[in-house]
Amino acid sequence: MGNEVLSTANKLLIASLVPAMQTLHTALAAVSLDRRIKVSTPHSLGILSTSSPPSTGKFRQGYDVHVLKPLLSFLRATNSPFMINPYPFFGYSAETLDYALFRPNSGVLDENTQRVYTNMLDAQLDAVFSALKILGFTDVEIVIAETGWPSDGDEGQVGVDVESAAEYNGNLREHVMSGVGTPLMPNRTFETYIFALFNENLKPGPLCEKHFGLFQPDLTPVYDIGIMRPTARASIPWSPAPAAAPQLGPAPQQLPKDGKQWCLPQSDAHSDALQKNIDYVCGLGLDCKPIQEGGACFIPDTVRAHAAYAMNAYYQATGGSESDCDFEQTGALTDVDPSYGRCKYLGQ
């Protein structure tokens, strides 16, 4: 419910937060959904007055007893998680980039516990755990409600590029699923949500704020960290239509087997169904300019040719699963590149 409400400094919102959560939980309980749907609210690390070293983590005075303690009591009673938004990106420097990106580094020692931290995320999580310990709520589960790394930013920003973003989110995925946990919370996995699914090209603020997404606004991937659905071969192999049927263009070039696949219409697919596929894909906002008049793939100007480009664009943008090329049984996969002339089909 809400997002980082305590960071707004809006006294009315803050005072209304826990009562609103209780009201929503009561409504869910009334229809027997309270065990399936949990009520919580995410917090930024700004709720901490101290966080370094992690063992000194403490909630901000005033919020600790009057807001967070009642909130944590509610979470415990309803078996709901405490949600936080930790961002090593907002705490790193050029000197600590390896530490922030989970790269090999010499580590940071917490002298109070003699625990060594090899990445910044663990330190942030343990700072929250230490704050929970002061209030007596270490039994409440911690969920990472959002974390991420931008793939682009202002000129001169160190470590703000596609490679670093893919490295952070890829290493994050491996780390939170490993079961290793943190120095103060060993042998745990953490439910984690990556921020964000899409880049936000209209978002105000610094350039980096627009580029946290795994996908562009047109659904094309910025990078893959291993969470997209794997490519699967179609059960019905695609073969080019007979010479008398509408063609996609010049005969596609036979390429070496490199694992790439493309989604194309089945040879018996009806034009009406293929037109629906075009309308669906282009209506999602994917880039259909190449099949518009003057575009590189406009010729041949046939429904089948245009549908081939649109269906493949959708298949590639959504991760390359066999089901993404079904299109109500009008599509099938091929390992023959259908590109011709200036018309280039994405393949993966």
Q: What is the pLDDT of residues 268-287, one digit of tens each?
A: 899 999 999 998 888 888 88
Higher pLDDT, 267 or 87: 87
Region 300-309: what's the mean pLDDT?
Answer: 92
pLDDT of residue 248: 42
SS3 (DSSP) at 75: helix
**Would residue 167 show up in a list of annotated catalytic residues for this protein?**
no
Which residue of the set 111, 146, 167, 191 is catalytic? Answer: 146
For residue 221, the cross-strand partners are: 215
pLDDT single digits (tens) 21-45: 999 999 999 999 999 999 999 999 9
DSSP string, 76-103: HHTT-PEEEE--GGGG--GGGHHHHTT-
The residue with greater pLDDT, 243 or 41, is: 41
What domains can be seen in the chain, in order of their start residue? 5-210 (3.20.20.80), 228-348 (no CATH)
Rounded CA gap, 225 and 176, in Å?
14
Contacting residues for 318 by C-beta, under 8 A, at least 6 apart: 219, 229, 324
Please state at what angle helix 271-283 crosses helix 303-317, rounded to 10 degrees. 40
Q: Which of 4, 155, 167, 328 is catalytic?
A: 4
Encoded amino acid at 51, one letter: S
Please report which confidence band the pLDDT of residue 229 belongs to, taking 50, 70 and 90 as the band edges. low
pTM, two decimals, is 0.67
d(CA 241, CA 243): 6
| Active-site annotation holds for 146 | yes
Residue-level pLDDT at 324: 84
Treating both helix axes as pointing N-terminal to C-terminal, what angle do 11-30 and 69-77 enclose, rounded to 10 degrees? 10
pLDDT: which is higher, 17 or 249: 17
What are phi and psi for residue 295, nearest 5 degrees?
Answer: -80, 165
What type of residue sits at position 317? A
Q: Is the pLDDT higher at 136 or at 253?
A: 136
Q: What's the first-to-final CA gap in the chain, in angstroms?
A: 39
